[in-house]
Structure 1
Amino acid sequence: MEALRQELLAVFDAEYRDHLRVVRDILAAGPMDSRAIGEVFRRVHSLKGAARVVERTDIETIAHTLESRLFRLLDAAETVTPEDLAAIGEAMDRIDSCMQDASDGSDDAATPQPVPPAPLPRDDGAESYVQVPVSRLDALVSVMHDVLGASARQERLWAELEDLTAAATRRAGPAGAVAVDPAAELARLTRALSALARERGRIAGQVDRAMLRLDEEVRAVTLVPAGTVFGSLAGMVRQIAREHGTGEVMVRLAGMDVRTDRRVMQALRDPVIHLLRNAIVHGQEDPARRQEAGKPAVPVLTLSVRMVGVRLLVSVADDGRGPDLEAIAARAVRQGLMAPDDPPVPETLLALVFAPGFSTRGEADRLSGRGMGLSVVAEAARTLHGSVRMEIGSPWGTVVTMAVPVSQRQRTILMVEVGDMTIGVPGRVIERLVRVRQGDIRVVDGRTYFPLNARRDPQTDAALVPLVPLAAFLGRPDAGLPVHDGAREGQEGALSVVLVAMDGVRCGFAVDQMCEVRILQISDAEAVGLDSALVPGVSWPRGDRPVFVLSPDTLLDRWRKAGATGGHLGGAPWDGPGDSPGGGTAGGNAASRRTPTVLVVDDSITTRTLQKTILQTHGYDVVLATDGVEALSMLHRSSHRIDVIVTDVEMPRMDGFALLDAVRSDPRLSSIPVVLMTSRNEEADIRRGLEGGARAYITKQGFEQGDLLDTIRGVL
C-alpha cells in the first residue's frame, strides 16, 4: 500500500503542477471572461478531487474555498474584480507552498500555511516524473518504426547479396560443368550489384534521416515548459511587494509554455528573482504620480520567456518610473567608471549598472540585496555563455533581458586533430585560425612567437603572439610544434594555429590538423575518467570516435601558470606545462628566471599594439586591457602575476589616475609599480601622478621605445 501511495503522490505532483500552470497562464493573459472563469473553476475542482485521493486535506481545503468563490462568479455572471484575481493567485501560491513544504520533509504539511516571505529557489532536479506531451511520444514511436523498417530492409539486402554471391560461386565451378557466357554473366552480376548499391544508398539515407529525427524527438522530450521553473514566482513577488510596502502588484507571466533545457532555466531562476526584487525596490512609484502618468493603479511586473533562433530570452519588465540616468551617471563618476565630462549616453549608462558593486541605493536592505547590484545577473548570464542588457521601457518603466543559449549541452565547436585525438575548442574564444609559415616563427629569449597582422590594416606592424603546441597540455609536455606541409620535402613548412583570446590574453595553440566546425551535443566527461577541469565535456558525433571538448579558461590558466611560455621546433626542451613557473629551485634564482609580465592599459588599440610589440620583442610577457575597469578586473581575477602596470591617463570609464588610486589602496596590488604614459605633458598632471604613487611618468610626444624599456627596467 505504501508503494501505491508514493506512486499516487508522484502522479499528483505532476498533475497539480499542470493545473497551476494553466491557471497562472489565464491570470497572466489579462481580463477574465466567463469562459476563462469556467476553465479555472474546472481546474480547481479537479485539483480538489485529486487532493482528496492522496489525502492532502490542506490542498483540498484551499481548493474548496476557491471553488466556492468561482462558483458564485459563474452563477451570478459577475465581473471579475482585482480582489478576485488576487484571491485566485494567492490560492495558487498557497497550494504551491504546501507542496513545497511537503517535498522538503515538513511534518505539518497537512495544515494550510501562509506563503513564506521571499522563498529561496528549490532544486527540482531530483524529480522522478516529468510530463511529456502525447504527441511527442507518438512521434518517438513513429521514428522507431522508421528505424526498425530500415533495419529490416537492410537485413533483406544482405540476404540478397549472399544469394548473389552463392550463385556466382556455383557458376564459377569446374570448367564445362555449366555452359555460361562469361560476358553475359558479368553483365548480369554488374546489374545486380548496381541495384543492390542503389538500394543500400536509399536505406542508408532513410536510416540517417530517422536517426536525426530520433535525436530531435529525444532532445525535445527532455525539455520542460518554462512554467515549471518560473510559474511559482508570481506569489513570491506579491509577498515581496507586501513586505516592501508597495501593496498589491499585478504579475504577468508570458511564454511559460516555451520548452527548453531545465538546467538552463534552473540556473536563471536566481537571477530572475534578483531582477524581480530589483524591479519592486527601484520601480516603485507614488500612486498619485502613477495616476498623473496615466498608468494603472496597480503596478504591473511582467516576466516573459521567448525563443529566438537558438537563444532563450528571459525578460523582466516593470511599468515604474524607469532607470534614473542621472543617479546612474553620478554613481559611475564616484566609482571611477566614467569622467564627469563624459556625455551621458543612455546605452552606455545602462551598461554600467552591471559592473561589480554598482548600485544607486545608498544602502542595502533585506529585499534589495547586499550591495551586489546587478553584477550577479551579469555573471550568471556569462556563466551560461550569454549576455544581459537593460533598456528603457516603452512607454515607461524598465526592461532587463538575459539572452542565453537554449541548451548548455549544445555548443559550436572547432574540431582539431592533436596526435591520435580529436579535440574540440569552443568557438566563443577563437579569435582567428592562422596558417603560420615556419620562416615567420620568431624565438625571443628561448620563447616562440608568431607575427599577427591586424585584419583591417594588414600593412600595420604585426604583433607577436605566443605560440605553443596544444599537445603539451594533453599528456605530452615535451611535444614540439607540429610543422607540416612541405617540411619533409625540404620546402618551408607551416603550422595550423588556433588563436585563443580571453580577458585580454591571447595565445596561439598549434595543432596537427583543423577539421571542421560543428554544433555538438556535449556530455559530461567525468563519467569517462578524464581530467574534468581541462576536458569538462565529450561528444560522439561519429559514434565511435570521441571529441574531447576543452575548457578555454583552464587551458589558458595552465598556460599562465606554466610561465606563459612558447614552444619549440623540436630538439630543445620546452619550458612548458610540465615545469613550474620559475623553475625548480627556490629563492632568487627561480624568481630571476621568470619572465616579467607587463599589464598595458590603453583605450587606443594602436598604442596597445605598439607597446605590446616592443615589450614582447624584448622578452616581456604582455597582458592587455582597454581601460581601468578592465585592468582592475584582470588584476583581481587573473592567477597570473603582474610585475608592472603601464597605463594611459585619459581613458573612458576609469582613467589612469583612478586606476593608480585603486591599485595603491588595495593591499594585494599596492606593491605593483605603476608607470603613467600620456600625451599630456602638463606639470600639474605629472605631479599628481607621482604624488599619487606612480613610479614613473612617460609622455607620448617624441616617444622612443628605449624610454619605455629603460623605465620598466628601472622600476622592476
Structure 2
Amino acid sequence: MEALRQELLAVFDAEYRDHLRVVRDILAGGAVEGRAVSEIFRRVHSLKGAARVVERADIETIAHALEGRLFRLLEEHRPAGADDLAAIGAAMDQIDARMQDAPEAAEPGGAARDEGGAGAVADGSGADSYVQVPASRLDALVGVVQDMMGIAERQDRLWADLEDLAAAARRTGPAGDPAAELARLTRALSALSHERGRIAGQADRAMMRLDEEVRAVTLVPAGTVFGSLSGMVRQIAREHGGGEVTVRLLGMDVRADRRVMQALRDPVIHLLRNAIVHGLESADRREAEGKPARPVLTLSVRMLGVRLLVSVCDDGRGPDLEAIAARAIRQGLMQPDDPRLPETLLALVFAPGFSTRAAADRLAGRGMGLSVVAEAARALHGTARMEAGQPWGTVVTMAVPVSRRQRTTLVVEAGGMTIGLPGRVIERLARVRQADIRMADGRAYFTLDRRRAPAGEAGGDAALVPVVPLAAFLGRPEAALPVHGGALSVVVLGMADGGCCAFAVDRMLEVRILHVSDAGAVGLDSALIPGVGWPRGDRPVFVLNPDTLLERWRKAGATGGHFDGAADAAREARAPARRVATVLVVDDSITTRTLQKTILQTHGYDVLLATDGVEALSLLHRSPRRIDVIVTDVEMPRMDGFALLDAVRSDPGLSRIPVVLMTSRNEEADIRRGLDGGARAYVTKQGFEQGELLDIIRGVL
C-alpha cells in the first residue's frame, strides 16, 4: 500500500502543477469572466478531488474554500473582481507552498530537509516521476516500434532460410557434384549475407529514430519544473518580513532534458531564497532610489547555442564588493594587496562556507547556498556566475548543456572542424591509397572487399564505393579529397538499401563516449548537426545526423570527389600570398565565441576572441595584427556592445573598422540604436544562419 501511495503522490505532484499553471495563465491574461471563471472552477474542483484521493486534507480544504467562492461567481454570472483575483492568487500560492514543504515530496527520492528548513527536491532517481507526452510523440514511438517489429520478422525469416540451406546441404548425397554444390551454397550464403547487411542497416536506423523519439519525450518545458516556484517565493518573502514581492517567470516554454531541469530545481530554490535574504530592501530605501514599491524577482530560462541558461535576478542592493573582499581576506581566499577586480570577487562567493551575513537564520547565512549552486552546475558539466544587475540588483546564472545524453562517437577532423559520427552507422574505417582511386562520370570510387573469399575461391564480395570529402557538406562545396602521405582516411557508412558510401576526412582522432547536447548549434545547420559534444576545454565536437548527411549526398548525385590538380597547385604557388582577414569576436558566452570562431576559421578567416567590450578595446589597441571587422554581442559585463560601438566610432584610430552587432535583443529600439550608432549590420540570433554572417562579413570587408 505504501508503494501505491507514493505512486499516487507522484502523479498528484504532476497534476497539481498542471492545474496551477493553467489557473495562473488565466489570471495573467487579464479580465476573468464567463468561460475563464468556469475553467478555473473546473481545475480547482479536480484538484480538490485529487487531493482527497492522496489524503492531502490541507490542499483539499484550500481548494474547497476557493471552489465555493468560484461557484457563487458562476451562479450570479459575475466576473471576478479584484478581491476574487487576490483570493485565487493567494490560494494558488498557499497550495504551492504546502506542496513544497510537504515531507511526502522528499521521501520518494530519499532527499532530506536542508538546514534552511525547505524541502530539498529529489531528482527523480529514487521514485517514479511522470511527464505529459503529446499524442503525436506517442504515435511516432508506435511507428518506430512497428518498424522494429518488421525488422525482427525479416531477421526471423533470414534465420529460417539459413536453417533450410543447412538442411539442404545435409540432404545432399555423395553422388552429387561437390564443386557445383559448393558454388550453389556459396551463392546462397552470399545472398543471405547481403540480406543480413540490409537488415542490420535498417535496424541501426530504427534504433537511432527510437533514440531521437525517446529523447524528445524527455524534453519538457521549463514551466513544468520551475513554474510552481512563484508561490513558494512569495510565501518565503512574507515569512521573512519582506511583504509582497513580484515574481516574474520568463522562458517557461523553453524545452530541455527533464533530468537536467530537475537537477537545477534545488539550486534555483537556493538562489531565490538567497535573493530574498540578500536582495530585499526597505520601502523607504527603494523609494529613495527610484525603484518600484514592490520588489521584483525574475527567474528566466533561455537557450544560447547548446547551453541552457537559468538566471535568477533581483532588483535589490546588488553585490557588496567591499564586504566580499573583507570576507575573502578573513577566509584566506585572497591577500589584502590583491587586485579587487569585480569578476574575481564575484567568483569567490561560490566557495563553500562563504557568506557576507553576520548571523545565520533559517533561510541563509551559513554560506552553503551558492556553493551548492556551483557544485550542481559543475555536476552537469556547466558553470555558475554572479554579476551586478543593470541598473541595480544581482544576477546569478547557471549555464549547462541542454542534456546529459551520452553517445559513442567517432571523432574526426574535416574542413577545419572537429566532427563526430555516431558509431552505430559506421560500417568500416579504411586507409585508401590515392593510386587506388578511380574517376568515372565525375565520381571518385575505390574497391572495397565487403567479405573475404572462401578458401580455395578467387576474389570475394568486392564493391565499388563512391568517396567524397566530408568537408564538402560542411560549408566547403569545392573541397578536394584530402590526401595525406599518399592516401585517404575514409569512413564507410552503410545505407538502408544495403549499399555504402565513403566520406574522406583529414584525420581520425579517437572513438569516445561524448556528452551530447540536444540543440542546434548557433550559426550551424541544425538538420545536419543536431547535437554538440564537449570532450575537453572549449573545443566542441559537432555530431552529425548520418541520415541527413546521406540524404544530401544523394541529392548531390554522389559527386564531389576530386583531387587538386598539379596545374592548380603550381598556379597557387605562383600567385602572390593573399592576406587573411582578421575578425574580432566579442561575446561573454564561451559557447557562442567558440562556435563563431569555428565557423569563421572554417571559411578562411583569422579570429581573435574577447569576453567583453573592455577586453576588446584592449586588443584593438595592443594587438600587432590588423583587425578588419568586429562582431560583437550587446549584453556583456563591464562594457556592453553599444558602449563598445561608441568607443570604436569615437576613436580616430579605430573608426574605420566595421562593427557588426549580433545579439538576441530584437526590439526595434535596440536595432535603431545600433544602426544609428554606426553599426554596419544588426543580426538577431533568433533567426540567425551561418551563411548570413558570412555574407555580411564579405560585404563589409
Smaller-chain TM-score range?
A: 0.3 to 0.5
Higher Cα Rg, which structure: 1
Per the normalisation by structure 1, the TM-score is 0.47
